[in-house]
Structure 1
């Protein structure tokens, strides 16, 4: 009995020795999650089994049931949970990532709304004074202040929109004007070119006939000078034969020249009409210049009222601030409406150019 006890003890000590003298790299790799006392406990209690030293928590799950039963309860609990905390933390982080992404999307979607609701752009000092006024105001006055404040910001945004639209439309109108002017200069150009070419071809076709007729008439003059009746009669017969053809050719050329001249006359008349029609937009352009001056005046008034509003903030009296803010709303509305009026006039110019373009299209 004593001999068996000593044998088992020797085996246990050998197991402990081998575990302690296991290469550091192997222990570091395989025994990551087990406390030192667990290794000793396993070495003491493993009987009739081949001990696999430096086992990880995954290998311990495969230890036979008899061995697990012989392990202390505390050791079993340690083995079952030693390698789990890191896995649980990673799983928790993976679950949190979608929540963070969703929250970020919701926040980004809500930002445009906050920006659109912005009011007047104030400096740090003025903004602080504005917040103080809101804190002092009663509920109804505070609502009126915020509504007027946001109205000014909204009107300013509309004014910027009208400016951008007017600038874009004005650029488009200028380009269209140049195109129309070039198109007007080219009115009936193809027709004139066609008639000119037809005249030149006709003249070239009849050129030999005219040359022959001229030569025959010179011979006739020479025959008459010699007073040779027979020669004169022969040459006169040739001239009489060519004369009708020459007359027809000259008539055709005359008609073509007349047709070309008439076409050029119509072209000039049409150009004058189209240019007069195009210049009909000049009166609207003069209205635009007047409207732009009005924009400058309303902008100046807006700037003055804005200064008064900022001065009223320093007094920190909600009623006076509300009165000044209402004046600012009126000034901003007037400023914005003048910008809109400029855009409306630019639209009239654009519509006028459309009509001229339609007239040009009819002549094609």
Structure 2
């Protein structure tokens, strides 16, 4: 029996669901929006325009075309904002990670070398300390011969001990300098990223500014559709004009949000220039 057989139905079901999803996506009307720019709404407008005077008819037809364009541009702007925000979120996370890693490989290496140096000289320091303790004891006991021998031994060890301390100090100073440099570079890069905060504040302000026109948009649209169904040309034009005005305001705010997202990315790129190559 083929061991792969139990998985075949699941595979075909996955293909079937994917095909259905694709068909539903392709079948979705392009004109669907928050304003429900449906064929019935367009038909009502056309009937109203047909019975209106020439000037009103032209304004209704031109206004509808602009509204369709505005809705399409808003959808494009929404997609653009989502894409920019997603890009910025990932880029910002990556640059923050890079900032945290500034100088860390060098610091880790110097810490290892400093530790190794201390361990390397432990026997020397232990011997030197032991000789010093023995010398102190010999002097207490009044043994001049032993004290003289131990003092000679201590003096002979001093240069090696001094060099060992200098060697360790050099490593420690290099480690301290590396930490200081890394800290300074991290600070500089993070200070650049602080320019993102006012841009995020602006984005929130633009989004807040959208609430008022969005709140009134549904009312204006309802007035338009109600008037169009009644073939009230003046009411239809008034509702359409108000809808256009509000839609333009919303689109402008969305454009400002997108511009801020672009500026945020520019800040992120500027911060990246503050990160030294590994």
TM-score range, shorter chain: 0.7 to 0.9
Q: Distance in 2 between matches of 1:255 and 1:124?
A: 81
1:227 deviates by 2.6
Q: Distance in 2 between matches of 1:280 and 1:363?
A: 23
1:180 deviates by 2.3
Give me the CA root mean square deviation.
2.7
- The TM-score, its normalising length taken from structure 1, stands at 0.62
Alignment of 1:30-45 (within 5 A): none
* 2:64 is the alignment partner of 1:149: yes
Aligned to 2:88: 173
1:303 deviates by 2.0
Alignment of 1:47-62 (within 5 A): none
Alignment of 1:207-222 (within 5 A): 207-222=122-137
Please say if residues 162 and 340 of structure 1, whose CA atoms lie closer than 8 Å, have aligned partners that are also in contact: yes
Please say if residues 302 and 335 of structure 1, whose CA atoms lie closer than 8 Å, have aligned partners that are also in contact: no
Residue 154 and residue 212 in structure 1: after superposition, are their counterparts in 2 closer, same or farther (change >3 A)? same
Structure showing greater radius of gyration is 1
1:129 deviates by 2.9
- The TM-score, its normalising length taken from structure 2, stands at 0.79
Please say if residues 188 and 363 of structure 1, whose CA atoms lie closer than 8 Å, have aligned partners that are also in contact: no
Q: Distance in 2 between matches of 1:264 and 1:204?
A: 22
Q: CA offsets per residue over residues 94-113 of structure 1, 9 Å max, x none?
A: xxxxxxxxxxxxxxxxx99x
1:124 deviates by 7.3
Aligned to 1:229: 144
Alignment of 1:1-364 (within 5 A): 121-122=36-37, 126-138=41-53, 141-360=56-275, 362=276, 364=278
Runs of 4+ more than 6 Å apart:
none
Q: Report the count of equivalent residues.
A: 250
Structure 2 stretches lacking a partner, 5+ long: 1-25
Structure 1 stretches lacking a partner, 5+ long: 1-110
1:312 deviates by 2.2
Q: CA offsets per residue over residues 142-188 of structure 1, 9 Å max, x none?
A: 34322211210110111111111111211222222222222222221
1:126 deviates by 4.3
Q: CA offsets per residue over residues 196-254 of structure 1, 9 Å max, x none?
A: 12211211221221122122223322332343333222221111100111012112212
Aligned to 2:12: none
Please say if residues 45 and 60 of structure 2, whose CA atoms lie closer than 8 Å, have aligned partners that are also in contact: no
Q: CA offsets per residue over residues 80-102 of structure 1, 9 Å max, x none?
A: xxxxxxxxxxxxxxxxxxxxxxx
Please say if residues 185 and 271 of structure 1, whose CA atoms lie closer than 8 Å, have aligned partners that are also in contact: yes
Residue 115 and residue 193 in structure 1: after superposition, are their counterparts in 2 closer, same or farther (change >3 A)? closer
Residue 307 and residue 205 in structure 1: after superposition, are their counterparts in 2 closer, same or farther (change >3 A)? same
Aligned to 1:105: none
Please say if residues 284 and 345 of structure 1, whose CA atoms lie closer than 8 Å, have aligned partners that are also in contact: yes
